[in-house]
Structure formats: C-alpha cells, structure tokens
Amino acid sequence: MKGLAADDRPREKLLRLGATSLGDNELLAIVLGSGIRARNSLAVANSVLDAAGGLHGLLRSGWDDLRRVPGVGTARAAQVLAAVELGRRTLLRRPSEREPVKTPRDLAEMLLPQFGSKTVEHFGVVMLDKKHHVLRIRVLSVGTLDASLVHPREVFREATAASAASIVLFHNHPSGDPAPSRDDVLLTRRLATAGDIMGIPVVDHLVLGDGSYVSFRESLAHR
C-alpha cells in the first residue's frame, strides 16, 4: 500500500468515510489484511475477484479455488470464506421472526441466501403449520439428487415429528439454473401422492438457482 496516499488506503478510507465508500476490491483487501512481497493486498484482492468472476462469485468459491490465487494461502483463504459466510448469515432470519409464508417468493427469499449458491445439491423440507408459519426447515439429502434415493418415509417422518399441516420441498441446482429437470418433476409427483395419503399435502416444490428460483406451484398456476 506504500504507493497509495494515506487517505486512499482501504483501511484508512473506511475509517474516514465508512464502509459503503469502499469498492469490492478495497473491502476484500481489508479482509485479506496484507499482501505479499511483490503485491499489496489490493492487488491480491483484484486477483481473487478476477478468479471468482466478481464479488458474487465468491459465494461459489471453495477452499481450493481461493488458494490457487497467488498471495492467498491457507490463512487468507480461511479469512475470505469466513467473511463470505458471515455476509450470507446476515441475510438469514429465523423462521419465528417472519410473517406467515403467503407466496412462493416469501419462502424463496428465506432459502436462497443459504442454499441458492451451494456447489453441491441439497434437498430439504420446509414444514408449515395451519396458518403457514414455518415450523422447521430440514435438509434430508446432500449430493446428487436422485428421485429413487429420496424416500417418502424420511420426508414424512420429519413432517409428522413437527406436527406439520403441510410441507414445501426444496432443492438447489449447483449449475445456478433453477429450471426443473424430468427427475425433479417425477420426485414432486411421487412425494405429492405420498402427502395425499398421509394427510400432509405437498403445497409446493422450490428449485433454487443462483439468485433465482422456480416454484412448481407458480408454474402450474401459469399454465
């Protein structure tokens, strides 16, 4: 940072003008803390952002991705991952703090910050009471989603334990594209049939992408 005027150095600029005055690379430079002999923290931050494809790409960057960037070792990679996770958690709210779920978008806004950018597929269930308050959110499967591996027994065991009046299925697509696959459709039909038998209806299935979602309920309504 010796080449920058004191007032233009990220840390000093933050103290003087506030965090909102800093660019993405300047904020990341502060997280990194320091650079290496030939490159200051701002240069390393620029390299990290270039490798990730921008700030949003950090949500999908893993340990190995960050460590490949010159100047980012184990400690700095851990700092960046921790900062990204803290940012993600600020977007989350406890179900008890929310209004009743009235639309698929309400629920998507709850789930997307946590699951939308996951690089591995997560399948879960949101359990609702009679007034559509969220009782519980449970992840039941992590890995490639295979309709044959998601058994209704596991889904409705959780729903029964929570005394749910209805449930919403959800899973993410690591590709970032939330368009439902044929397997997604088959799984939804299978679990909806089981829900009818159990008396715990499946009221929707949300497929989460990178900042977007598809609701089976909305899709059917628009046909």
What is the model's pLDDT at position 148? 44
List the one residue out of 192, 185, 184, 186 whose CA is nearest residue 159.
192
Rounded Cα gap, residues 136 and 129, in angstroms: 10
Amino acid 211: pLDDT? 86
C-alpha distances (whole Å) from 212 to each of 105, 139, 201 are 10, 19, 25
Average pLDDT value for the chain = 85
Contacts by 44-52, CB closer than 8 A, 24 or more apart: 44/69, 44/70, 44/71, 44/72, 44/76, 47/71, 47/72, 48/72, 48/80, 49/24, 49/25
The residue with greater pLDDT, 19 or 213, is 213
In this prediction, residue 8 carries a pLDDT of: 59
**Interatomic CA distance for residues 219 and 51, integer angstroms:** 36
What is the mean pLDDT of the segment spanning 119-146? 88
DSSP code of 68?
Answer: T
Question: 146: pLDDT confidence band, cut at 50, 70 and 90?
Answer: low
- What domains lie within the chain, and their CATH numbers? 6-90 (1.10.150), 95-221 (3.40.140.10)
Q: Look at 179 and 151; give whichever has higher pLDDT.
A: 179
pLDDT for the residue numbered 196: 96
- Residue range 156-194, pLDDT digits in tens: 999 999 999 999 999 999 988 999 999 999 999 999 999
Evaluate the CA torsion angle 13, 15, 21, 26 in order and state its sign. positive
| pTM, rounded to two decimals | 0.70
Decide if 195 contacts 203 (C-beta within 8 A).
no
| Contact yes or no for 120/143 (Cβ under 8 A) | yes
pLDDT for 197 equals 95
77: helix, coil or strand?
helix
